[in-house]
Amino acid sequence: MNAPVSIRDVAAHAGVSVGTVSNVLNRPEIVARATRDRVQAAIKALGFVRNESARQLRAGRSRTIGLVVLDVANPFFTDVARGVEDEASTSGLAVILCNTDEQLEKEERYLELLEEHRVQGILITPVADAERRLVALQQRGTPVILVDSRSPAGSQCSVAVDDVLGGEAAMAHLVETGHERIAYVGGPPSLRQVTDRLDGARRALQRAGGAVSDLRVIETGALNVAAGQRAGAEIAGLDPRERPTAAFCANDLVALGLLQEMTRRRIRVPDELAIVGYDDIEFAAAAAVPLSSVRQPRQELGRMAAQLLLEEALSTDGHQHRQVTFKPELEIRQSSLPGQVPGR
Amino acid sequence: MNAPVSIRDVAAHAGVSVGTVSNVLNRPEIVARATRDRVQAAIKALGFVRNESARQLRAGRSRTIGLVVLDVANPFFTDVARGVEDEASTSGLAVILCNTDEQLEKEERYLELLEEHRVQGILITPVADAERRLVALQQRGTPVILVDSRSPAGSQCSVAVDDVLGGEAAMAHLVETGHERIAYVGGPPSLRQVTDRLDGARRALQRAGGAVSDLRVIETGALNVAAGQRAGAEIAGLDPRERPTAAFCANDLVALGLLQEMTRRRIRVPDELAIVGYDDIEFAAAAAVPLSSVRQPRQELGRMAAQLLLEEALSTDGHQHRQVTFKPELEIRQSSLPGQVPGR
DNA sequence: CGCCCGGTTTGACACGTTCCAAGCCTGCCC
DNA sequence: GGGCAGGCTTGGAACGTGTCAAACCGGGCG
């Protein structure tokens, strides 16, 4: 609409050279007081705004980092995003948020886009094993940090919470409170989180001996509320004598969906079905029946990921990849405590 | 780490000119089959990746849009973001997500950053009245669309839901179910959403005649769960004979916090305190006591905002600003239905 | 008077792309 | 054979900034 004003216009207006204006912008201390004031006045008068693209072109890298998550609507990821954004903004970096919806295709599109943007680096929770693509990305010069995930080959930095441990704690709790028919609800199995938590659960069962006859795995297509509701319908449809008496869900959204469906069908929680979720999102404690859940330091996860990225991006010489692992914590609430009066 | 490969390298490798490579990239149909194949092979062999900054520099604008929200952790905004992102990605645009935390200072920093990035446009829910700054931004050439907000002067496009209507519906419902001492819980009053919903509530009271003696306004510092809990403590502290029997909360996070605090203090909802929230986020229905709430078409809001932005960005000649308003809908659930047995 | 010095300022180039006018072929028609 | 059209390709000029060596200037010193 309006003729864009460039550094050259400012220079003309202030009666100095282009280089001087650039200096005022980037190293104001080396330019004489009087000149500096004159240039700054010109900038204000003309409404000059730096052109970030041009800076980037010159610098070779943009002042931006990419964050690729599985589902923006999941509070787990928004909390992580919060942490990332906090950390990034202290360094003057912007965050490009990309939502893959757990679709490989969208993930690929976004990775391409971020690489073209020459972002400082990419924080990603991959949809599936992405080792090859990510390594290629790194070799071409874009640092990659895995979030809530880990590279088996150690070829990236990563920040994660020990999901096996979390799964084990959740399952051990259910076994201890006497359940024998237990279900694990989650999917798709391509997600590391889903399989790790299941592995942890299995480990708890082994450790407990043979008391639990079978762990029924109910696979969901995604980790959201709707998937939880569908799983709920499936469980409710089972013969009550064979129906699991407890369910461990791969995340809280699934657990809340499951809980909602149980409530709708008047199957009592926790008496007829105990539920344990994962993530301990803010809404878990406020659920119809306060939800037991495995808590993760979400915001911390995001901050740490951003820190690792900055560390790697700034290091000129050989950078050592670091794998940071946090410990989860089981928060027991009413949804898995039989015998308690559910009302207030 | 690795020498970046440019279009020039590709040209050399394929034995063609730079211009031809550019054509292969942008208008493949005009270059001869054989040449095209050769160039594409070179691109693959060298691992060439377009440099978006350079494209932008030439084009004058980046292929990015800015989304500035009050709180990423609020599901309302993540749903809006979802809609924006969907729409943007169909046009190959990336979304830069900025979280202001309702702080004017952060908002200013982000607006500056986005302008420097020469984004296609900015979608924003402003912290406070930002008319002046936004108009300046537009005059310098960056389109601005207000989200869940409206410009009194009509100087921007906007997408909003009629909050006065929503507030009126919620309050009318509480009055109809016989409440006489009602509280409005929300803040800060600098947020248009907060005041509009309150205005609507007041209008409902007027329309109902004088049955309701007073509307007690409990001001919160922000619209999140913690603020709701604090408000809950305040309400619980009142003499039960004077205590409101119903609360209309400015959003669901506040309502959930309030509900949580009531549960903790064994004040029964809805019998001793009926609660109505706003936004109808996914978790409202799954709350301890399913929450009555005013539903907004959140994702739709985001999509429409992005569409308006594209419309404005693409229009070369005089663009007419449009103000789109959606209608909210009251969803009545158990939290405001006295006399019903709260259990299952 | 010539020289050098430190503090400022200048000018030109590089970054990687897109765009466009101009050039080069090849084949066809008269 | 000359001319022409049409299909491809080329070369170079931008775009706005950061950087850096070189120029400038006034003053102090020998």
Q: Which of A82, A256, A263 sits opposite B344 (nearest CB)?
A: A263
Closest CA to A251 of A225, A219, A218, A217: A225
Distance between start and end Cα atoms, chain A? 62
**Residue A52 CB lies within 7 Å of the nucleic strand D:** no
Q: Which of A53, A89, A288 sits opposite B288 (nearest CB)?
A: A288
Query: What pLDDT shows up at residue B342?
Result: 42
B94, B148 in Cβ contact below 8 A? no
Cβ atoms < 10 Å from Cβ of B141: 18
- How far CA B186 is from CA of A72, A331, B97, B118, B295, in Å, comes to 26, 30, 25, 36, 17
Residue B39, burial from CB neighbour count under 10 angstroms (0-12, 13-18, 19+): buried
A337 is written with which tokens? 């405590």
Stated in angstroms, how far is B49 CA from C24 C1'? 30
Digit-by-digit pLDDT tens for chain B (344 residues) are 567 899 999 999 999 999 999 999 999 999 999 999 999 999 999 999 999 999 999 999 999 999 999 998 899 999 999 999 999 989 889 999 999 988 999 999 999 999 999 999 999 999 987 889 999 999 999 999 999 988 888 899 999 999 999 999 999 999 999 999 999 999 999 999 999 999 999 999 999 877 666 799 999 999 999 999 999 999 999 999 999 999 999 999 999 999 989 988 989 999 999 999 999 998 898 888 899 999 999 999 999 999 999 999 887 667 889 999 999 999 999 999 976 544 43
Query: What pLDDT shows up at residue A193?
Result: 93
The amino acid at residue B313 is A
Cβ contact B288–A283 (<8 Å): no
Stated in angstroms, how far is A30 CA from C6 C1'? 12
Query: What pLDDT shows up at residue A35?
Result: 94
Query: What pLDDT shows up at residue B131?
Result: 87
Rounded to a whole number of angstroms, the CA Rg of chain A reads 26
Stated in angstroms, how far is A59 CA from D18 C1'? 8
Query: What pLDDT shows up at residue B128?
Result: 84
d(CA A118, CA A53): 11
Q: Determine the distance from the C-alpha atom of residue B116 to the mean position of all C-alpha atoms in its chain, rounded to a whole number.
A: 22
Q: Determine the distance from the C-alpha atom of residue A179 to the mean position of all C-alpha atoms in its chain, rounded to a whole number.
A: 32
Q: What contacts B70, CB < 8 A, 6 or more positions away?
A: B77, B99, B100, B101, B102, B125, B127, B191, B223
d(CA B270, CA B266): 12
- HEC string of chain B equals CCCCCCHHHHHHHHCCCHHHHHHHHHCHHHCCHHHHHHHHHHHHHHCCCCCHHHHHHHHCCCCEEEEEECCCCCHHHHHHHHHHHHHHHHCCCEEEEEECCCCHHHHHHHHHHHHHCCCCEEEECCCCCCHHHHHHHHHCCCCEEEECCCCCCCCCEEEEECHHHHHHHHHHHHHHCCCCEEEEEECCCCCHHHHHHHHHHHHHHHHHCCCCCEEEEEECCCCCHHHHHHHHHHHHCCCCCCCCCEEEECCHHHHHHHHHHHHHCCCCCCCCCEEEEEECCCCCCCECCCCEEEECCHHHHHHHHHHHHHHHHHCCCCCCCCEEEECCEEECCHHHCCCCCCCC
Closest CA to B304 of B69, B114, B94, B88: B88
Alpha helices in A4-91 (DSSP H): 7-14, 18-26, 33-46, 52-59, 75-90
Query: What pLDDT shows up at residue B213?
Result: 65
d(CA B118, CA A50): 9
Residue A146 has pLDDT above 80, yes or no: yes
B245, B293 in Cβ contact below 8 A? no
Q: What contacts A114, CB < 8 A, 6 or more positions away?
A: A66, A68, A96, A98, A122, A142, B94
**Residue A12 CB lies within 7 Å of the nucleic strand D:** no
The interaxial angle of helices B18-26 and B33-46, nearest 10 deg, is 90
Q: B-chain residues within 8 Å CB-CB of A136?
A: 47
B193 is written with which tokens? 């959403």
φ and ψ at residue A288, rounded to 5 degrees: -45, -50
- Pseudo-torsion of CA A72, A62, A111, B80, nearest 10°? 20
Cβ within 7 A of any strand C atom: A 15-20, 23, 30-32, 34-35, 54, 57-58, 60; B 4, 6-8, 18-19, 22, 25-26, 48, 50-51, 54-55, 57-59
**Residue A8 CB lies within 7 Å of the nucleic strand D:** yes
pLDDT tens, position by position, A4-13: 899 999 999 9
pLDDT tens, position by position, A40-68: 999 999 999 999 999 999 999 999 999 99
DSSP A209-229: -TTS-EEEEEE-SSSSHHHHH
Query: What pLDDT shows up at residue B286?
Result: 83
A54, B54 in Cβ contact below 8 A? no
Query: What pLDDT shows up at residue A211?
Result: 65
Cβ contact B141–A79 (<8 Å): no
Query: What pLDDT shows up at residue A342?
Result: 42
Cβ atoms < 10 Å from Cβ of B240: 9
**Three-state DSSP state, A29:** helix
**Residue A59 CB lies within 7 Å of the nucleic strand D:** yes
pLDDT tens, position by position, A301-331: 999 999 999 999 887 667 889 999 999 999 9
Query: What pLDDT shows up at residue B152?
Result: 84
Cβ contact B97–A96 (<8 Å): yes
A300, A83 in Cβ contact below 8 A? yes
**Residue B59 CB lies within 7 Å of the nucleic strand D:** no
Query: pTM of the full predicted structure?
Result: 0.87
Distance from CA of B312 to the nearest CA of A (A): 11
Q: What contacts B337, CB < 8 A, 6 or more positions away?
A: B177, B270, B274, B292
pLDDT tens, position by position, B306-341: 999 999 988 766 788 999 999 999 999 999 997 654
pLDDT tens, position by position, B16-43: 999 999 999 999 999 999 999 999 999 9
Nucleotides of D under 7 A from a protein CB: 7-21
Cβ contact A136–B286 (<8 Å): no
Cβ contact B47–A289 (<8 Å): no
pLDDT tens, position by position, A7-36: 999 999 999 999 999 999 999 999 999 999
Q: What is the mean pLDDT of residues A178-184?
A: 93
Query: What pLDDT shows up at residue A4?
Result: 83
pLDDT tens, position by position, A242-301: 999 999 999 999 999 999 899 889 899 999 999 999 999 988 988 888 999 999 999 999
